[in-house]
Amino acid sequence: MAFTEFRPLEEKSLIEYIKTVPALHSKLGKNLDDIKVKEVGDGNLNFVYIIVGPDGSFVIKQALPYIRCIGESWPMTKERAYFEAVALREQARLSPEHVPEVYHFDRTMSLIGMRYLEPPHIILRKGLIAGIEYPLLAEHISEFMARTLYFTSLLHRSTTEHKRAVAEFCGNVELCRLTEQVVFSDPYKVSEYNRWTSPFLDLEAEAIRKDNILKLEVAELKSKFCERAQALIHGDLHTGSVMVTWESTQVIDPEFAFYGPMGFDIGAFLGNLILAFFAQDGHADQANDRKTCKEWILRTIEETWNLFRKKFIALWDEHKDGSGEAYLPAIYNDPELQQLVQEKFMDDLFHDTLGFGAAKMIRRIVGVAHVEDFESITDASRRADCELRALEVAKLLLKERRKFHAITEVISAIQKFQS
C-alpha cells in the first residue's frame, strides 16, 4: 500500500503504514501481526493513536485538514504537524527530561511518531479534576519554560540566528490566526462559536462584550502576540498539554508553536491552574472538600513563577558574556546596570504573563473550546458559580495587571474571590 499522498489513517491502514517505516516498526518487535491500535484523541484538532507491539510502543499523531471538534466547516492546514515536529525536537534538545522523543515525522501524511508516555502518566488537567497533587510540577514546568524560552531568545542568540528561526515559524500562520480569533477576538463580540453556561452567565458574557477598558487591554495583548517574536513559545501550554506522574512532567502538543511573547506560555499555564483552582469547589463532596488541593494549587502557582524567575535569571547570568545580542556585554557589563535590566525585563514579563493568562481564562469561559475542569461539573448552577468567580479574577488581572508586583499579590487576589 503506497502512502505518497495525504489521507486520514484508521486502524487497518495505520498498521500498514507502520510496516513501511523502519523507525516505527523496529520499536514494536518482530511479530508485526500482533500490533494493537487504540484511538485516544480527546483534543480539538487531531487523531491520536497508541500503538502497542510485543516489545514496545509509541504514539502516532496525525493532523487533519480541519478542526476536529467542529468539523470540515472550519478548515485548518495540515502543515501544523510540521511545526509541531520541529518544536518538539527543539524543545527536547533544550529540556530533554520534560519532552517526549520524536521517532518519525512524515510531512506528506502530516504524521508524527513519538514516545508513548505510559501509565501512570495522565493529562495534568484530569489529575487536577480528580484532586491529585503533583509535588514536582512547579520544579519541572519552571525548568521547561526557563530553558526553552531563554535559549530561543535574543538573550542567548545573535540577531542573525534569531531572525532565521523566526522566519521558519512564520509559516505557522494559520494556527496563530486561530489563537488571535479565539483568544483575542471572539469573546469580545457576538460569534457563532461562543458559548457559556446559559442562562447563568448571559449577563456576564454581554458585559464582557460591552467592556471598553477590557477591549483596550486585550487589543494591546493581541498586538504583542502578533508582533513580538521574543522566543520560541509552545503556543498552547495549558494543563491539557502536560502529562504527569508524581515524578515526571512531560510537555506535549506544541502544534501552535511560533516565535512570540514569552508571557503567553507562562500565562497559559498559570491561567489554567487558576481555572483548576476555582473548579475544585464544583468537584468537592462530603468525602473531600478539596481544601487541601486548592491550597496546593495556589502554592504551585506561586512556586512556578518564583522558580521560573530564579532559573531564567540564573541562565541569563551564566551566559551574560555569550553570543546573545539583546544586551551586548560591551554596553551592559556594569553589574548595577545588569540588575536594572533584569528587573525591568522580569517585571514586564510578569505583567505580560498576567495579561495573557487572564485572556486565556476568559476565552475558556465565554468563548469556544471550554475546559473539562468546569465542563465536568454536571450541576449547571454550581458550574456557573465557579466560572463566575474565575471570570472576575481574570477581568481584574487583565485590567489591573500593572498594579501587581509580586506573585503573592496575585494569590491574595485569587483568595478574595473563593467561596
Give tens-digit pLDDT for 284-337.
999 999 999 999 999 999 999 999 999 999 999 999 999 999 999 999 999 999
The torsion defined by the Cα of 19, 113, 7 and 180, in degrees rounded to 10, comes to: 180
Per-residue pLDDT at 401 exceeds 90: yes
| Residue 52 CB-half CA count within 13 A | 7
Beta pairing class for 71-75 and 111-114: unpaired
DSSP secondary structure code for residue 130 in this structure: T
pLDDT reading at 189 higher than 90: yes
Amino acid identity of residue 157, one-letter, is: R
Is pLDDT of 339 > 90? yes
Calculate what percentage of the chain has a pLDDT beyond 90: 94
pLDDT confidence tier of residue 411, bands split at 50, 70 and 90: very high
Cα separation, 218 vs 212, whole angstroms = 10
Contacts of 35 (CB under 8 A, 6+ apart): 15, 18, 28, 51, 52, 53
Q: Which long-range contacts (CB under 8 A, 24 or more apart) does 11-17 make?
A: 11/37, 11/39, 11/49, 14/49, 14/51, 14/60, 17/109, 17/111
Give pLDDT, residue 334. Answer: 95
Instruction: Please say if the pLDDT value at position 42 is more than 90.
Output: no
Q: Rounded to an integer, what distance in angstroms lies between the CA atom of residue 287 and that of residue 1?
A: 55
Where is pLDDT greater, at 97 or 34?
97
Whether the predicted pLDDT of 195 surpasses 80: yes
Q: Alpha carbon 59 to chain centroid distance?
A: 19
Q: What is the mean pLDDT of residues 56-60?
A: 98
Q: Which three cell numbers stand for residue 260?
A: 512570540
- In DSSP terms, 62 is beta-bridged to 47, 111
Average of per-residue pLDDT across 404-416: 98
Q: Which pLDDT value is given to residue 101?
A: 98
For the chain, give the mean pLDDT.
Answer: 96
So what's the pLDDT on residue 43? Answer: 62
Q: What is the pLDDT of residue 32?
A: 87
CB 371 within 8 A of CB 395: no
pLDDT interval class at 41 (50, 70, 90): confident
> 107 near 82, Cβ under 8 Å?
yes
Letter for the amino acid at 342?
A: Q
C-alpha–C-alpha distance, residues 13 and 8, integer Å: 9
- Region 383-392: mean pLDDT is 98
Q: Say which DSSP state 376 is in.
A: T
Q: Is the pLDDT of residue 61 over 90?
A: yes
3-state secondary structure of 102: strand
CA 132 to chain centroid: 20
pLDDT at 128: 98
* In the predicted structure, residue 1 carries a pLDDT above the cut 80: no
The 10s digit of each residue's pLDDT in 147-159 is 999 999 999 999 9
Q: CB neighbours of 297 closer than 8 A, spacing ≥ 6?
A: 128, 273, 276, 277, 280
The model's pLDDT over 62-107, given as tens digits with 9 standing for 90+, comes to: 999 987 767 777 788 999 999 999 999 999 999 999 999 999 999 9
Residue 31 pLDDT more than 90?
no
DSSP H or E run through 317: helix 291-318
For residue 44, pLDDT over 70 is answered with: no
What value does the mean pLDDT take over residues 41-61? 90
Amino acid at 223: S
Name the pLDDT band for 419 (thresholds 50, 70, 90).
Answer: confident
Distances (CA, A) of 217 to 211, 270, 314, 388: 10, 19, 31, 20
Three-state DSSP at 15 gives helix
The three-state secondary structure class of 231 is strand
Please tell me the distance from the alpha carbon of residue 305 to that of residue 402, in angstroms, as a whole number.
Answer: 16
Please, what sign has the CA dihedral across residues 383, 384, 389, 392?
Answer: positive
- Placement of cell 511573547 in the chain: 261
Secondary structure letter of residue 417 according to DSSP: T
Q: What is the DSSP letter of 260?
A: E
